[in-house]
Amino acid sequence: MDRVPTAPDTSGTLPVPGARLYHEVRGEGPLMVLVGSPMSAVSFEPLAALLAADHTVLTTDPRGIGRSPLDDPEQDSGPDLRADDLARLITHLDRGPATVLGSSGGAVTALALAQNRPDLVDTVVAHEPPLEELLEDRDELHAQTEKMIAVYRSGDVVGAWRLFMSVSDIPVPDTALQEMFGGDRDPQQVADERRFFEHELRPTTHWSPDLDALRAARTRVVVGIGEDSAGQLCDRTSRALATGLDTEPVLFPGDHTGFVERAEDFEPRLREVLGRA
């Protein structure tokens, strides 16, 4: 398959309380929102371009990430606040209700949106949300989160990522960690990383979904897991969410970031799950 051009049809910045949200829009058709945390719109470009063949696809840089500056750079960014941002973007486009694919922290954002504004979202695909509150070892996991934040603040960036990967049960060779997070790096990458460790990681992993509200809402919730993520932390949290919602998880190509590395495989599976092949 030829790669579809990834340039957005339009882009803009929406003022919201405390921030200005950069967002991009591609295509025409039913509204599809692709959201991460801390991943920016850039991470979703390949998938967005494929879906834009018959959808209006909205991507965004979450508040404080990339091109979405904050009035207060030290403001924490929890799922409910990010969900309010999404609600404002969807309302601004006036093309809802939307289907929302959220991955990682973005999946937690999407679940918060389904809880708080079910009128704006008809389907949520929650791909590997790190919902540690649903696990029996949540206290130990939270303690490890505090440790990795402290290690990061000490200046040991590679050490913080080493601990993050270990807790996430994602095997990454130390040489790869050094290549990715050591030495000279892009200033925006460093700024986004700081925001993640100091202002997003804790409120995201401490958020607990209202399972009763999600079961009762009109919004359909699909729990997605990467087929290569077996045994990883987000495999465990996703399965716990599926159990809490009395549903079966759905497997997608790839691992935690399969929507990036395997977008051309991920897209038809997503269409199949949504019934829009």
Q: Is residue 105 located within the same domain as residue 167? A: no
5 pLDDT above the threshold of 70: no
pLDDT band at 8 (very low <50, low <70, confident <90, very high): confident
Q: Is residue 182 located within the same domain as residue 59? A: no
Q: Is residue 194 located within the same domain as residue 85? A: no
Q: Is residue 194 located within the same domain as residue 218? A: no
What's the whole-number mean pLDDT along residues 49-68?
97
264 pLDDT above the threshold of 90: yes
Residue spans of alpha helices (H) in 96-232: 105-116, 138-153, 157-167, 174-181, 187-195, 201-205, 211-216
Q: Is residue 218 located within the same domain as residue 253? A: yes
- Specify the pairing of strand 19-26 against strand 10-16: antiparallel
Amino acid letter, residue 67: R
Give the separation between CA 92 and CA 100, rounded to whole angstroms: 16
Q: Is residue 24 located within the same domain as residue 98? A: yes
Q: Is residue 265 located within the same domain as residue 219? A: yes
Under 8 Å between Cβ of 275 and 30: no
9 φ, ψ (degrees, to nearest 5): -70, -45
pLDDT band at 7 (very low <50, low <70, confident <90, very high): confident
Average pLDDT value over all residues in the chain: 95
What's the whole-number mean pLDDT along residues 69-74?
96
Looking at 151, 174, 200, which one is the last position of a domain? Answer: 200
Query: Residue 4 has what pLDDT?
Result: 47
Looking at 154, 183, 200, which one is the last position of a domain? Answer: 200
Is there a domain that residue 192 lies in? yes
Report the number of distinct structural domains present in the chain: 2
Tens-place pLDDT, residues 195-253 = 999 999 999 999 999 999 999 989 999 999 999 999 999 999 999 999 999 999 999 99
Beta strands in the chain (DSSP E): 10-16, 19-26, 31-35, 56-60, 98-103, 121-127, 220-226, 250-252
2 pLDDT above the threshold of 50: no
Looking at 200, 226, 248, which one is the last position of a domain? Answer: 200
Amino acid letter, residue 249: P
Amino acid letter, residue 56: T
Is there a domain that residue 45 lies in? yes
Query: Residue 190 has what pLDDT?
Result: 96
Is there a domain that residue 226 lies in? yes
Under 8 Å between Cβ of 106 and 100: no
Is there a domain that residue 5 lies in? no
Indicate the pTM of the whole model: 0.95
- Specify the pairing of strand 56-60 against strand 19-26: antiparallel
Query: Residue 276 has what pLDDT?
Result: 58
Closest CA to 104 of 18, 188, 44: 44
Give the separation between CA 229 and CA 273, rounded to whole angstroms: 19
| Segments forming the whole domain that contains residue 171 | 138-200
Is there a domain that residue 32 lies in? yes
CATH number for 46? 3.40.50.1820
Residues near 235 by Cβ (< 8 Å), separated by ≥ 6?
Answer: 128, 225, 226, 229
Is there a domain that residue 3 lies in? no
Q: Is residue 48 located within the same domain as residue 93? A: yes
Q: Is residue 142 located within the same domain as residue 73? A: no
Query: Residue 3 has what pLDDT?
Result: 43
Is there a domain that residue 2 lies in? no
Under 8 Å between Cβ of 98 and 29: no
6 pLDDT above the threshold of 90: no
What's the whole-number mean pLDDT along residues 171-176?
93
Query: Residue 42 has what pLDDT?
Result: 95
Q: Is residue 180 located within the same domain as residue 257? A: no
Tens-place pLDDT, residues 88-143 = 999 999 987 999 999 999 999 999 999 999 999 999 999 999 999 999 999 999 99
Q: Is residue 142 located within the same domain as residue 184? A: yes
Q: Is residue 97 located within the same domain as residue 232? A: yes
